[in-house]
Amino acid sequence: MSASLHIFENGTALAEGLADAVSAKLAAAIEARGAASIAVSGGTTPKAFFQALSRREIDWTKVTVTLVDERLVPPENERSNHGLVAANLLQNKAAAARFLPLYHAAATAEDAAATASRSMAAIGTPFDVVILGMGTDGHTASFFPGGTRLKEAIDPATPRGVITMEADGAGETRLTFTFSSLEDAGLLVLHIEGDGKKEVLARAEAPGDEAEMPIRAMLRRATSPLQIYWAP
Ligand SMILES: O=C(O)[C@H](O)[C@@H](O)[C@H](O)[C@H](O)COP(=O)(O)O
C-alpha cells in the first residue's frame, strides 16, 4: 500500500490535526461496534498530540488505549511509555479510557510479553488506530536495526502479539507488538517532526535492506495505507 503525506505548518497544528483524525476514527469505531482501540508510541514527539487528543469529546469509556512498544520498566520510571501516556493522554476527557499496559511485574521479560499478548488478544484486532514513531536510525516500534528478534518481529508470518527485543542503543529490554499486529490498523499513522526525520524518511524510501531501516517494513508492506503526519 502506498503512503500519504500530511504536512502541517508547525508542531501545534500537527498535534491538533492528528488529534482530529484519530478522534474521528475512534468515534466511527464506537458508532459501528460500540468499542474502539488505539496503540500509541512513546518518545518525545507524541506529547503535544496526546494532550490534544485527551481533550477530544468522544465516549472514552468505550476506548482501550495501549502501547505499540514499551521498555521493561515500571510506570513510575521516567523512561516508561505507560508513565508518558498516563501523564499526557489519560487526562481530561480521556481519563475515562481503559489502559492496557505491556509491562507487567512478571518474573521474566518473556512472562511479561506472554501476559501482554493474552490481554491484547481479548481486545480483538485489528486495532482501530496505530500511531508509530520513527528513530533517526530508522527504527519504529521496537524494531531496531540489529535487534535480537528483528527478523521475527517484522516477519508477516509471525502471529499477532507482543515479543521481547534487545538492541544496542535501545537501553532496557523492550516489549513490542509484532509487525502483523500493527500493519492492518484501521488508521495507520507515522507521526514525525522536523527536517532531520524527513531526511531519515527519504533514506528509508530509497532502495535498501529492511533490516538496516526497519521502518521500511511498514512503508513497503503494510496492508493499510501508511498516513505520514509531519511538521517542520
Ligand atoms: O521510544 C519509543 O517508545 C518508541 O519505541 C520509538 O519507536 C519512538 O517512537 C521513536 O524512537 C521516536 O522517538 P522520538 O519521538 O523521541 O524521536
Q: What CATH number does residue 57 fall under?
A: 3.40.50.1360
**Is the CB–ligand 1 distance for residue 81 below 6 Å?**
yes
Domain assignment of residue 121, yes or no? yes
Domain assignment of residue 120, yes or no? yes
Count of residues making up the chain: 232
pLDDT of residue 232 exceeding 80: yes
pLDDT of 119-166, one tens digit each?
A: 888 887 799 999 999 999 999 999 999 999 999 999 999 999 999 999
Residue 42 alpha carbon, nearest atom of ligand 1: 3
Mean pLDDT of the region 78-102: 97
CA-wise closest residue to 162 among 179, 185, 138, 140:
179
Domain assignment of residue 85, yes or no? yes
Local confidence band at 1 (pLDDT 50, 70, 90 cut-offs): low
Cell of 218: 511498514
Determine how many CB atoms are found less than 10 A away from the CB of residue 173: 20
* Å from CA of 146 to ligand 1 middle: 16
Q: Exposed, middle or buried: residue 80 (CB in 10 Å: 0-12, 13-18, 19+)?
A: buried
Domain assignment of residue 40, yes or no? yes
Local confidence band at 2 (pLDDT 50, 70, 90 cut-offs): confident
Range of the domain at 74: 8-175+191-206
**Is the CB–ligand 1 distance for residue 176 below 6 Å?**
no
Cα 220 to chain centroid, rounded: 17
pLDDT of 49-87, one tens digit each?
A: 999 999 999 999 999 999 999 999 999 999 999 999 999
**Is the CB–ligand 1 distance for residue 139 below 6 Å?**
yes
What pLDDT is attached to residue 226?
A: 98
Mean pLDDT of the region 89-111: 94
Q: How many domains does the chain have?
A: 1
Residue 176 alpha carbon, nearest atom of ligand 1: 5
What pLDDT is attached to residue 107?
A: 79
Domain assignment of residue 212, yes or no? no
Domain assignment of residue 217, yes or no? no
Domain assignment of residue 16, yes or no? yes
pLDDT of 5-38, one tens digit each?
A: 999 999 999 999 999 999 999 999 999 999 999 9
Domain assignment of residue 57, yes or no? yes
* Å from CA of 149 to ligand 1 middle: 18
Sequence letter at residue 17: G
